[in-house]
Amino acid sequence: MKRRLLPWRSYREARNIAELAGIARRRVPNFVFEYIDGGSDDEASLANNRAVFDRYRFTPRTLTDVSVRDISTQLFGRRIGMPVVIGPTGFNGMVTKDGDLKLARAAAAHGIPFALSTVSTVSMEDIARVPGGWPWMQVYFFRDRKFVRELVARCAAAGYDTIAVTTDSAIYGNREWDSRNYSAPLVLNWRNKLNVVCRPRWMLDVLVPDGLPTFKNLGDLLPPGGISPQGAAAEIGKQHMPSLNWQDIQWLRDEWKGKLILKGILSVEEARQARELGVDGVVLSNHGGRQLDHAVSPMEILPEVRQAVGANMTVMLDSGFRRGTDILKAIILGADAVLLGRATLFGLGAGGEPGVNHVLDLLQTDLHRTLGLLGCSSLKELDGSLLRRV
């Protein structure tokens, strides 16, 4: 039986991401934790995102010299510290003040990219100023095309070289736990208000002195007075564009000269189409089980996608990554890197920026150790002979 770490312990004592989730659950209000942790409908996608890793087992080599090991890799021609990207998550300012900035700094300290959400609570310009960082911008394709054009222009002006368009979120997934916490959009019901009052440390950090964090990239999109989180949430809902299709991606491909990634792909055919259109990379993703329930795990289609798009296209994936073993299984199956969603958010909730650094340190150590246990000195040595589907 697994023993659980007592939730009031410090993030420093956590030895894995599950323990950090337990600590975060205690430190942030219920509505924030449920916003991060939950999935859609019956949470079948969410559960399978973890279960899938158990269906792959290693067949390691033992008699190889692994005294020196290197977990760095190349992504879009740049060397990064490990095959990991902090993925885009919206409204991080609810977890801790300037959450995006804390995530971006931790990513920079570990030599990995940080993808900022369109609906972030720190501006893209402030993120671009983090020393030593490699910021990516996640783009929601809103109905207001002028806004999208200006957002892309702002990316270029701020020095971003990579944007990721999210393709799976124009229609919101049915997150039932989330809807129960509010009496109106972003207005908490009384139970959750009470729960917030019991978190004075969180209130001091997040609500005092500026009030609820606001969306810093949306500026002109919002009507006058719409800058309040409630007003913005309503407007964002209206701006999502269920008509999003390949012509829009073609338009963006012509508009944006940097690296273009599609995030949310779960079909081999769409990955192939992306390559044909000149897209530079895909993130296979079921949005961490928050959108379509009963969707495949990206791990289940990764080998087929790699075969379909060939060796030259960048293929990344997310949804469920919590351990070094998970990440190396994905690399063996053909991934260039993985994105983290909840893993780093749990660190952020449990311990702010040092908590995120702790998550990345844990994964770094895990990757070094697991690589050695597999009998390999570098990621290049990983191949299909080391993994078996059971």
Ligand X SMILES: Cc1cc2nc3c(=O)[nH]c(=O)nc-3n(C[C@H](O)[C@H](O)[C@H](O)COP(=O)(O)O)c2cc1C
Q: Is there a contact between 216 and 123 (Cβ–Cβ < 8 Å)? A: yes
**What minimum distance in Å lies between the beta carbon of 269 and ligand X?**
21
**What minimum distance in Å lies between the beta carbon of 247 and ligand X?**
21
Torsion of CA 90, 281, 171, 238, to 10 degrees: 60
**What minimum distance in Å lies between the beta carbon of 92 and ligand X?**
8
Interface pick for ligand X out of 341, 347, 351, 355 (rule CB under 6 A): 341
Size of the site for ligand X (CB under 6 A): 25
Interface pick for ligand X out of 135, 173, 320, 351 (rule CB under 6 A): 320
Options 110, 240, 287, 294, the catalytic residue: 287
Nearer to ligand X, 83 or 376 (CB): 83
Contacting range for ligand X; rule: CB under 6 A; set: 188-196, 243-251, 337-345, 374-382: 337-345
Is 261 a binding residue for ligand X by CB under 6 A? The answer is no
Q: Is there a contact between 11 and 356 (Cβ–Cβ < 8 Å)? A: no
Residue found under tokens 């997310």 = 318
Is 217 a binding residue for ligand X by CB under 6 A? The answer is no
Chain CA centroid to CA 71, Å:
20
Interface pick for ligand X out of 29, 88, 226, 352 (rule CB under 6 A): 88
> In angstroms, rounded to a whole number, what is the distance separating the alpha carbons of residues 79 and 321?
21
32 token code pair? 């924030």
Nearer to ligand X, 216 or 386 (CB): 216
Nearer to ligand X, 29 or 90 (CB): 90
CB atoms within 10 A of CB 51: 12
Interface pick for ligand X out of 89, 181, 217, 370 (rule CB under 6 A): 89
Nearer to ligand X, 213 or 376 (CB): 213
Is 25 a binding residue for ligand X by CB under 6 A? The answer is no
Residue with nearest beta carbon to ligand X: 341
Q: Is 358 a catalytic residue?
A: no
CB atoms within 10 A of CB 282: 27
CB atoms within 10 A of CB 275: 18
Q: Is there a contact between 16 and 362 (Cβ–Cβ < 8 Å)? A: yes
Q: Rounded to whole angstroms, what are the CA distances from 183 to 90, 180, 199, 323?
A: 21, 8, 20, 37
Nearer to ligand X, 89 or 364 (CB): 89
Is 287 a binding residue for ligand X by CB under 6 A? The answer is yes
Q: Establish how many alpha carbons lie within 13 A of residue 166's alpha carbon, considering only the half-sphere containing its beta carbon.
A: 29
Is 175 a binding residue for ligand X by CB under 6 A? The answer is no
294 token code pair? 């009963």
CB atoms within 10 A of CB 76: 18
161 token code pair? 């070289």
> Where along the sequence are the contacts to ligand X (CB under 6 A)?
35-36, 49, 87-90, 117, 119, 138, 166, 263, 285, 287-288, 290, 318-321, 340-343, 345
